[in-house]
């Protein structure tokens, strides 16, 4: 009997060893392949130029999916990386480090069949008539040349949106935002500064209460996630290291509409509100921020009275508006581009206006009728990559047609004309909604998802695990998955770091 056990254990041991060695080998192979890309085809002046503006969700998905063997691709973006926005609020409280959710654009483009030119610059103007893009290096270090204009055959316009402030006084000057990586870093710095200043000897009770009052404006998913993350930081870490202050920290979420999270089902909105109540996060609905002062926020309460509430930090998550660059582009077609929410596009993502259909716009910069989400932007990017494949086929048929016509072969020309007509009919974009997910703090998340065409709403700890695994698998690279998983483990074992850098 003992030898049978020994045999069984030896078998299990062998299988475990093979799995471990196999897993480690595969991991090593994948990381090696990632770090040692092969030789690429060079830039070819005889091929058409696709100029991609931006390196966010839409542009990165496009770059990932495009077969650029027959195209030259040039990317212009003021940041040389892709930012995985869904995990940005986690960086703002130190659950994740910034690097874990950033992916340098070159890590992706270096793996494409043909060399991709990546230019770190801010686009200043687009001229669809001349088919040119003008951009400038806005970084601290500038060379002898820091501004130039290039031509494009096709433009993939994916510059995203900026935060809507509605011109409310003091927002730009005194609030933290939650859009870019430096916004998350600023918020963490400001938050820790408020706590350390509250701990300064001799601070009055009122001043401590002011410094420890954190107000989040906007009850959309960004505002809700930020509130949840601040709460986690408070209960999981600050309570240990600032026991005399932690209980005095207050979090208030302010929303102008009657409800938070309008895109989620009623059941999940109620669940979020009750979770926030339990977590002592005050939710003020029907309440509008009218002004942000250096040390207070002016609220218009539901009964229309005004309240000047002392605050230490305000995080502004008031939604999106088009960038000035997009407004300037739209203004070139005043009759056709009237939607103030973004660029009007057709079913195939072509900007309405330019007569030669050479400008494609996608993601948050458009007013496509879809919500401005990463899901939509990345599906549009993948779709557009397929369209360029179809355009290639169309161009080949057109070239064949002119050769055939020159040779006077009318029968074949007729057939080619018919094929060209079909190739000119681009298949329209169809969005497939995979559901909505949001983290609400307390190791809980909410999800409205479609599984086998069945709508399922769920909230809680199991949904939180689903949220984590969904985002881990959505991260664009093995490197980022490794870094994010590592940070989550590090946070569980050692807590968040309190350094104010
Ligand atoms: P972006 O990703 O914003 O990319 C725009 C790109 O354009 C950037 O690279 C930028 O540097 C570049 N750019 C800007 N100006 C210029 C210029 N002048 N010239 C050239 N390039 C320029 N959506 C979801 O579906 N699920 C989520 O969980 C989710 N969580 C989110 C959490 C947060 C905190 C935020 C802020 C958003 C979240 N979103 C989420 C929304 C999602 O991030 C956006 O819908 C998505 O980023 C849109 O992709 P985009 O490519 O259009 O724009
Ligand atoms: P949002 O537009 O969804 O919400 C902004 C909220 O701010 C609105 O509800 C608005 O009423 C409120 N607001 C504006 N001005 C105000 C004021 N002066 N006082 C009080 N409240 C005010 O913006 P958000 O949350 O940044 O999201 C932007 C997009 O990104 C959305 O499409 C969203 O779906 C997507 N997103 C998705 C996430 C997810 O799926 N988990 C997470 C974050 C964003």
Tell me the helices (H) and strands (E) count for the chain, helix number first: 16, 22
Question: Do the Cβ atoms of 78 and 120 come closer than 8 Å?
Answer: yes
Least confident of 40-44, 137-141, 303-307, 450-454: 450-454
- On the 0-12 / 13-18 / 19+ scale of CB atoms within 10 A, 133 is buried
Q: How far is the CA of 397 from the centre of ligand 1 (A)?
A: 37
**pLDDT for 1 beyond 70:** no
Tens digit of each residue's pLDDT (9 = 90 or more) over 364-407: 999 988 999 999 999 999 999 999 999 999 999 999 999 999 99
Per-residue pLDDT, 44: 96
Q: Are residues 49 and 152 in contact, defined by beta-carbon separation less than 8 angstroms?
A: yes
β-partners of residue 346 are: none
CA torsion angle 43 108 163 312 (round to 10) = -140
Residue with CA at minimum distance from ligand 2 atom 35: 373
Instruction: Report how far apart the first and last C-alpha atoms of the chain are (Å, whole number).
Output: 63
Q: Return mean pLDDT, the chain.
A: 95
Is residue 223 within 6 Å of ligand 2 at its C-beta?
Answer: yes
CB 105 within 8 A of CB 80: yes
User: Ligand 2 in contact with 254 (CB < 6 A)?
Assistant: yes
HEC-encoded secondary structure of 58-74: HHHHHHHHCCHHHEEEE
Q: For 286-336, what is each residue's pLDDT tens digit? A: 999 999 999 999 999 999 999 999 999 999 999 999 999 999 999 999 999
For the segment 69-113, what is each residue's pLDDT rounded down to a tens digit?
A: 999 999 999 999 999 999 999 999 999 999 999 999 999 999 999
pLDDT of residue 453: 79
Q: Is 342 in the pocket of ligand 2 (CB under 6 A)?
A: no
The answer to whether the Cα torsion of 473, 478, 480, 484 is positive or negative is: positive
CA proximity to 69, closest of 94, 95, 96, 42: 42
Ligand nearest to the CA of 224: 2
For ligand 2, atom 26, name the residue with the nearest CA: 319
User: What is the CA(31)–ligand 2 centre distance, in A?
Assistant: 37
For range 41-57, the mean pLDDT: 97
pLDDT tens string 207-256: 999 999 999 999 999 999 999 999 999 999 999 999 999 999 999 999 99
Q: What is the pTM of this model?
A: 0.94
Name residues contacting ligand 1 (CB within 6 A): 53-59, 76-79, 85-86, 88-89, 122-123, 158-160, 178-179, 222, 323, 325, 363-365, 372-375, 377
Instruction: Determine the distance separating the centroid of ligand 1 and the alpha carbon of 240, expressed in angstroms.
Output: 35
Q: Is 160 in the pocket of ligand 2 (CB under 6 A)?
A: no
Quote the ligand 1 centre to 160 CA distance (angstroms): 5
Mean pLDDT of 36-61: 96
Residue 71 has a pLDDT of 97
- Find out whether the beta carbon of 228 lies less than 6 Å from any atom of ligand 2: no
Distance between Cα 56 and ligand 1 center (Å):
5
For residue 301 and ligand 2, the question of a CB distance below 6 A is answered with no
Task: Give 486's pLDDT tier (boundaries 50, 70, 90).
Answer: very high
170 lines ligand 2 (CB under 6 A): no
Predicted local distance difference test score (pLDDT) of residue 231: 96
ipTM score: 0.98
pLDDT score of 27: 85
Cross-strand partners of 291: 298
> How many angstroms separate the CA atoms of 131 and 81, rounded?
26
Using the CB atoms, write b or e for 411-445: b if 16+ within 10 Å.
eebeebeebbeebeebeebeeeeeebbbbbbbbbb
């Amino acid at each position: 009997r003992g030898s049978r056990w020994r045999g069984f254990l030896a078998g299990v041991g062998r299988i475990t060893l093979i799995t471990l060695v196999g897993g480690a080998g595969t991991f090593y192979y994948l990381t090696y392949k990632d770090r040692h890309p092969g030789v690429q085809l060079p830039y070819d002046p005889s091929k058409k130029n696709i100029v991609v503006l931006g390196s966010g969700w839409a542009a990165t998905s496009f770059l990932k999916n495009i077969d650029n063997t027959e195209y030259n691709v040039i990317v212009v973006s003021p940041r040389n990386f892709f930012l995985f926005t869904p995990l940005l609020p986690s960086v703002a409280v130190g659950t994740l480090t910034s690097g874990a959710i950033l992916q340098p654009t070159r890590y992706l483009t270096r793996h494409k069949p043909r060399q991709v030119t990546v230019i770190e610059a801010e686009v200043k103007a687009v001229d669809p008539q001349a088919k040119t893009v003008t951009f400038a290096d806005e970084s601290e270090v500038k060379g002898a040349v820091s501004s130039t204009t290039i031509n494009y055959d096709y433009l993939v316009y994916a510059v995203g949106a900026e935060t809507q402030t509605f011109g409310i006084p003091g927002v730009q000057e005194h609030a933290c935002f939650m859009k870019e990586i430096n916004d998350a870093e600023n918020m963490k710095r400001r938050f820790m500064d408020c706590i350390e200043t509250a701990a300064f000897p001799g601070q009055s009770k009122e001043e401590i209460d002011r410094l420890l009052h954190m107000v989040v404006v906007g009850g959309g998913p960004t505002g809700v996630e930020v509130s949840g993350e601040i709460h986690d930081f408070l209960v999981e870490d600050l309570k240990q290291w600032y026991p005399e202050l932690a209980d005095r920290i207050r979090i208030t979420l302010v929303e102008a509409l009657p409800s938070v999270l309008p895109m989620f089902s009623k059941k999940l909105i109620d669940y979020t509100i009750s979770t926030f109540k339990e977590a002592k996060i005050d939710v003020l609905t029907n309440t509008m921020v009218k002004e942000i002062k250096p040390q207070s926020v002016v609220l218009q309460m539901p009964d229309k009275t005004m309240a000047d509430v002392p605050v230490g930090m305000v995080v502004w998550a008031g939604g999106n508006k088009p960038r000035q660059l997009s407004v300037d582009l739209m203004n070139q077609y005043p009759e056709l581009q009237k939607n103030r929410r973004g660029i009007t596009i057709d079913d195939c993502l072509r900007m309405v206006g330019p007569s030669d259909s050479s400008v494609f716009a996608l993601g948050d910069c458009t007013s496509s009728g879809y919500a401005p989400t990463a899901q939509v932007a990345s599906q549009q990017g993948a779709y557009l990559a397929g369209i360029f494949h179809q355009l290639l086929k169309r161009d080949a048929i057109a070239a064949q047609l002119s050769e055939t016509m020159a040779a006077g072969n009318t029968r074949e020309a007729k057939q080619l004309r018919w094929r060209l007509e079909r190739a000119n009919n681009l298949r329209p974009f169809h969005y497939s909604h995979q559901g909505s997910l949001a983290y609400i703090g307390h190791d809980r998340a909410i999800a409205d998802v479609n599984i086998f065409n069945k709508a399922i709403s769920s909230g809680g700890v199991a949904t939180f695990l689903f949220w984590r695994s969904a985002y881990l698998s959505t991260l664009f690279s093995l490197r980022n998955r490794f870094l994010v998983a590592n940070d989550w483990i590090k946070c569980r074992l050692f807590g968040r770091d309190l350094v104010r850098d």
